[in-house]
Structure formats: C-alpha cells, structure tokens
Amino acid sequence: MRFFTKLLLVLFVFNTILLNAQDNPPKDPNRIIINVDLGRETISKFIYGHFAEHLGHGIYGGIYVGENSTIPNTRGIRNDVVEALKEINPAVVRWPGGCFADTYHWKDGIGPKNQRPSIVNTTWGGVTEDNSFGTHEFLDFCEQIGAEPYICVNVGSGTVQEASEWVEYVNSDAKSPMTELRKKNGRDKPWNVKFWAVGNESWGCGGNMTPDYYTDLYKRFSTYMHGRGLIKVASGGTDPDFDWTETVLKKTQKFRNLVQGYSFHYYTFCHGWNDKTSATQFNENDWFYTMKNTLVMEERLEKHIALMDEYDPQNRIGIMADEWGNWFTVEPGTNPGFLYQQNTLRDAVTAGLYLDIFNNHARRVKMANIAQFVNVLQAMILTKDGQIVKTPSFYVFKMYKVHQDATLLPVNVTCEDYSYDGMTLPSVSASASKDKEGRIHVSLTNIDPHKDKNVEIDLRGSDDLSNASGEIITAPNENDYNDFGQPEKVNIQKFSSFSIKNNILKVDLPSKSVVTIELKK
Ligand code: AHR
C-alpha cells in the first residue's frame, strides 16, 4: 500500500512537470525571423528628421553665429555644424518650435536685420530674441544641409491671416504683396515648403485648448493655408490622450483635404516629468526605467495608430512623431530654461529603440523628429564657442541612415529578458530593410547593460546572402560620452562578431550596444 502511494505520487509529479513543459516550452532564446521577400512598406526618410527651436543655444550659437563671427560661417550659419550634420543625411528639420512657435510672428524675422524687432523669448529663459535668424536664414540652413523644411505656424497667439501670408510668402510664384516682399528681401524664387504644422501642443503651451476648440481652429487655419501638395499637420494631444486624437480625426472626417498629418510627441523622462535625473550621473535603476519608459512609447503609438485605422482606413493621414527623445536635467551651472544636457551611451541605446519602433510602424509613421538638433535635449551636436562634439545619438543616426526610403522587412523577435530588481524587459530590439540596390540592413539593440546576447537571425525568402559587414556603437561604461577637446569615447566602430551560413546569421551582440549589419549577395 505504501509502495502504491509512493508510485502514485511519483507519477503525479512527473505528469505535472510534463504538462508544465508543454505549457511553457523552453524559450528559443534570441531568435529573429526576417522575411526578406515580404517587404511592402517604405521607411520614409522623414523618420530621420530633426527639430530646431529658438531655445537656449539651439539656434543662436549652435547653428547661427552671424556673418561677423570669428567662427567660420556661411551667411551666419556655422560651417562646422553644417558639415557634421551632412554626415547623417538629415531628411527634414522642424522650426521655429515647439512652444516658441505659438509666440512667433514671422514678419519679425524678415528684412534688414538692423530693422528687426527684439522680443522676449517668454517660453525659454526670458532672454532677448533679436530675430536675426528668421525665415530666410532657416531655409538657407535647410538648403546648406540638404534637408526639407517643416514650418510650424502660430495658432496660439497668431492669426489665420499671418499663417496664410507666411505660406504665400514662402511658396507662391504669383505676383502679390507677399511675394513682392520676399523678392525685396532677396529671394526671387519660392522655396516650395511642403510640410506645415498648424500649432504645437495646442493642449498646453500652444494655447491650453480643448480638442473641440482646437479642431475648429485647425480647420480655419488649414483652409487658408493654400497650395498644392502641402502636408498640413494637426497638433496631437498629450501622448496618452486618445480622446484628443479621436476628436480631431472625427471632426475632420468630412474635411480630409485639410489634414495630411497628425503630430505625436513622446519623451522619456527616466522616472517621470517630476523626477528626471541627470543625463550622465545615473545608476542601473535609472538605466532600467529609461529603457522601460522608452518602450512604453510603442504601446502608446499603437493605440493612436488603431484609432487612425478606424477613422482613416485608407491610411491617408501620417503620424508625424515630431518630438521625441530623452529629457534629463540640465547640466549643472547651465540655464534651466535652455535644456542643455549631455548625451551618453544610454542615449544611443534608446535612440536605437525609438528608431526601430518608428521603422517597424512605417505604414503609419511618416515622419519623426528627435528633440532637438543642436545643444538642446537629446542633441546630435553640442557646441562650445568654436568647438563641436558629435554625440552618441548622432552616431546612431549616422548608422541608421541606410534605412532611409528603404523597404521595411517584417521582423519577428523572440529574446531573453533583461532582468533588474525583479522586473523584466525584452533585451533585444530589431528592425530591418532592403535598399534600392538590394542590400539588406539589420539593426539590433541590446539594452542589457551586463550580458552579451547570442542572436540567431533566420533570413527567409532570399537568395544566398553571404557577403556581410557590420558596425557597432558601444563603450565600456553606460555613461560614457563625448566631450570637448577629448578623444571620442562613443562612436561607430567596425563589428565582426558574427557569422553567416545558409542565410542564418549568428551574432554575438555585446551588452549595451547598437549594431547594424549589411548583407548582400
Ligand atoms: O522640445 C522642448 C519642448 O517640449 C517643446 O518646445 C514643446 O513642444 C515640448 O513640450
């Protein structure tokens, strides 16, 4: 009898183990399937976009130093910054804000510089804005770096007439007071600016409006911003405000010719808006939450996309994620209103996550603009007088430019978790594309600060892809950064810890790294 009971017990335990094993089959760690033959969507090059606001040294000192500066410049625009930015193929630049846009009266920034009024930048630091960088200078800057301009008009404190005349001044070829004024100011031909945002964060600094009120205003402004082929972008709500999105989409449904884009902003604040922490002095807890809060963006974005699919099933309105990035505390000793922060390997890793998310949602995401270009928040470039620094985030943009206008390849990622203090996150992120020459680019990010990952990538539906090369961004420490007058600590290095056989790519992906591998026949 005792023997029989024991036998039953052993059988029971064995059975339970067997059942559990069936319920939770062992995880296939770090396996990615890429369907090379199933690409449908184009990754718009405008996902690799930027944002330059009249904020701190984002424009003055950073981009524009004036013709009389000792810093080498072309019509006042820094040559060193232009040359550096060209390396990353900046596709589009949003200007003049941000919150500044809803205080900006564009006529203050045209004509002879000594006759332009000085105003107070009430949003950012209360400093004097002398308007020496205005419409002509911005469009000159875009031409110098080879980017499309994206102008945000003032809805909060401006008028419909101002917005309408700005479009006419910039884009019209017909004879009119506005085009005559443009010619008098030295520009004969129109610039043909395609992208126009109608207000910025109109729920907050752009006028504290309700979604209903904003949508009505949006329709008025958009009606009088004339021109063929314009992409007019409505302000979104806060990132979790789905009601705002639904209101704008619903109330413009019968006016689809008035709206081509919908703005979406998302920032990573480490622990939250009121608990931002330093850009360079952080511990693993801060690292984990920075990754976690970055990944939350995908969920928010997908909910907005679901609403757009409901109200715009033909996919005519693009999401313009025209502000995104890490927002930490300012560097000690700098003006809190200038939002100047350093940029470490942590920023490079989150940039990899963000760009993978945008790439993988390319069906709906038609533009994204990291905040911001120079000297503000998660910048590409930092300047100090005549010196410049290319940040770790700059190098991610340089590495990822291969995805611009390439065909998105669907990826399916299974990976180990990155665990910290009883919490977990998926450790590996990926996106892939095929360019016009048939080259495949696979980008991988490992957010785990301690463990390398062996990743096996199954490249399905392609001829033999045996010709491979790789690049990596990593550094010994999570908070390594590039500083003025010092050798760079974080930049792009050659990467060769991988092998490929029969279209199975095996990668030894280092901890805290961003990698891109190019494959061709
Ligand atoms: O990028 C800084 C500010 O963040 C922008 O001016 C505003 O739109 C957002 O809240």
283: CATH: 3.20.20.80
Q: Is 99 in the pocket of ligand 1 (CB under 6 A)?
A: yes
Q: Is 98 in the pocket of ligand 1 (CB under 6 A)?
A: yes
Residue at 361 is within a domain = yes
Asked whether residue 312 falls in the same domain as residue 164, the answer is yes
Inform me whether the pLDDT recorded for 109 exceeds 90: yes
How far is Cα 301 from Cα 298, in angstroms, rounded to an integer? Answer: 5
How far is Cα 426 from Cα 294, in angstroms, rounded to an integer? Answer: 12
Predicted confidence (pLDDT) per residue in 201-244, tens digit: 999 999 999 999 999 999 999 999 999 999 999 999 998 889 99
- Atom 9 of ligand 1 has which residue's CA nearest to it? 98
Q: Is 323 in the pocket of ligand 1 (CB under 6 A)?
A: yes
Ligand 1 centre and the CA of 270: distance in Å? 17
Q: Which of 54, 95, 200, 373 to mutate to test the pocket of ligand 1 (most atoms within 8 A of CB)?
A: 200
Residue at 466 is within a domain = yes
DSSP 254: G
Q: Which of 124, 323, 369, 370 to mutate to test the pocket of ligand 1 (most atoms within 8 A of CB)?
A: 323
Structure tokens at 308: 């757009």
Q: Is 96 in the pocket of ligand 1 (CB under 6 A)?
A: no
Residue at 4 is within a domain = no
Predicted confidence (pLDDT) per residue in 331-360, tens digit: 999 999 999 999 999 999 999 999 999 999
Inform me whether the pLDDT recorded for 26 exceeds 60: no
How far is Cα 135 from Cα 157, in angstroms, rounded to an integer? Answer: 18
Inform me whether the pLDDT recorded for 466 exceeds 80: yes
Which residues, other chains included, contact 445 with Cβ-Cβ below 8 Å and sequence gap of 6+? 349, 352, 353, 356, 428, 429, 430, 513, 514, 515
From the number of C-beta atoms within 10 Å of its C-beta (0-12, 13-18, 19+), residue 28 rates as exposed
Asked whether residue 394 falls in the same domain as residue 499, the answer is no
270 in Cβ contact with 276 (< 8 Å): yes
Output the DSSP codes for 129-156: E---S-HHHHHHHHHHHT-EEEEEE--S
Ligand 1 centre and the CA of 54: distance in Å? 11
- Atom 6 of ligand 1 has which residue's CA nearest to it? 98
Predicted confidence (pLDDT) per residue in 290-335, tens digit: 999 999 999 999 999 999 999 999 999 999 999 999 999 999 999 9
Asked whether residue 135 falls in the same domain as residue 245, the answer is yes
Catalytic residues: 201, 323
Residue 63 is predicted with a pLDDT of: 98
Ligand 1 centre and the CA of 330: distance in Å? 15
Ligand 1 centre and the CA of 287: distance in Å? 23
Return the amino acid letter for 182.
Answer: R
Structure tokens at 46: 């405008």
Residue at 22 is within a domain = no
Question: Any idea what the CATH number is for the domain that residue 484 is in?
Answer: 2.60.40.1180
Asked whether residue 129 falls in the same domain as residue 80, the answer is yes
Q: What's the average model confidence in pLDDT over 486-501?
A: 97
Last residue of a domain, one of 346, 371, 404: 404
Structure tokens at 182: 């443009």
User: What's phi and psi for 83, nearest 5 deg?
Assistant: -60, -40
Predicted confidence (pLDDT) per residue in 385-420, tens digit: 999 999 999 999 999 999 999 999 999 999 999 999
Residue at 65 is within a domain = yes
Asked whether residue 331 falls in the same domain as residue 416, the answer is no
- Strand pairing partners for 268? 326
Q: Is 148 in the pocket of ligand 1 (CB under 6 A)?
A: no
- Atom 8 of ligand 1 has which residue's CA nearest to it? 98
- Atom 3 of ligand 1 has which residue's CA nearest to it? 98
Q: Is 53 in the pocket of ligand 1 (CB under 6 A)?
A: yes
pTM greater than 0.75? yes
CA Rg value for the chain? 25
Residue 337 is predicted with a pLDDT of: 96
Asked whether residue 171 falls in the same domain as residue 104, the answer is yes
Which residues, other chains included, contact 391 with Cβ-Cβ below 8 Å and sequence gap of 6+? 343, 347, 378, 379, 380, 381, 382, 481, 482, 490
Reported as a pLDDT band with limits 50, 70 and 90, residue 2 is low
Asked whether residue 399 falls in the same domain as residue 457, the answer is no
Nearest to 50 by CA among 59, 42, 41: 59
- Strand pairing partners for 456? 31, 506
Asked whether residue 244 falls in the same domain as residue 214, the answer is yes
Question: Atom of ligand 1 at shortest distance to CA of 99?
Answer: 6
Residue 28 is predicted with a pLDDT of: 56
Last residue of a domain, one of 364, 380, 404: 404
Asked whether residue 416 falls in the same domain as residue 440, the answer is yes
Asked whether residue 394 falls in the same domain as residue 486, the answer is no
Half-sphere exposure of 169 (CA within 13 A, CB side): 22
Residue at 83 is within a domain = yes
- Quote the number of domains for the chain: 2
Half-sphere exposure of 228 (CA within 13 A, CB side): 1
Structure tokens at 304: 């907005």
Long-range contacts: 106-110, Cβ < 8 Å, 24+?
106/134, 106/135, 106/154, 106/162, 106/166, 106/169, 107/162, 108/134, 109/133, 109/134, 109/135, 109/137, 110/134, 110/135, 110/136, 110/169, 110/181, 110/185
Residue at 3 is within a domain = no
Q: Which of 94, 265, 330, 373 to mutate to test the pocket of ligand 1 (most atoms within 8 A of CB)?
A: 265
Last residue of a domain, one of 404, 429, 458: 404
Ligand 1 centre and the CA of 98: distance in Å? 5
How far is Cα 493 from Cα 507, in angstroms, rounded to an integer? Answer: 16
Asked whether residue 258 falls in the same domain as residue 280, the answer is yes
Inform me whether the pLDDT recorded for 474 exceeds 70: yes
Q: How far is CA 447 from the centre of its chain?
A: 18
User: Crossing angle, helix 284-311 and helix 242-251, to 10 degrees?
Assistant: 20
Compute, in degrees rounded to 10, the torsion defined by CA atoms 342, 346, 347, 350. Answer: -160
Residue at 147 is within a domain = yes
Question: Atom of ligand 1 at shortest distance to CA of 100?
Answer: 6
Q: Is 200 in the pocket of ligand 1 (CB under 6 A)?
A: yes
Return the amino acid letter for 32.
Answer: I
- Atom 5 of ligand 1 has which residue's CA nearest to it? 98
User: What average pLDDT does the chain have?
Assistant: 94
Which residues, other chains included, contact 362 with Cβ-Cβ below 8 Å and sequence gap of 6+? 41, 42, 43, 44, 47, 408
Q: What's the average model confidence in pLDDT over 368-372?
A: 98
Asked whether residue 321 falls in the same domain as residue 414, the answer is no
Ligand 1 centre and the CA of 60: distance in Å? 17
Ligand 1 centre and the CA of 44: distance in Å? 23
Q: Which of 102, 103, 205, 376 to mutate to test the pocket of ligand 1 (most atoms within 8 A of CB)?
A: 205
- Strand pairing partners for 409? 432
Ligand 1 centre and the CA of 384: distance in Å? 23
Predicted confidence (pLDDT) per residue in 163-185, tens digit: 999 999 999 999 999 999 999 99
- Strand pairing partners for 506? 456, 499
Question: Atom of ligand 1 at shortest distance to CA of 51?
Answer: 1
How far is Cα 132 from Cα 118, in angstroms, rounded to an integer? Answer: 9
Predicted confidence (pLDDT) per residue in 4-23, tens digit: 555 444 444 444 444 444 44
**259: containing domain:** 45-404
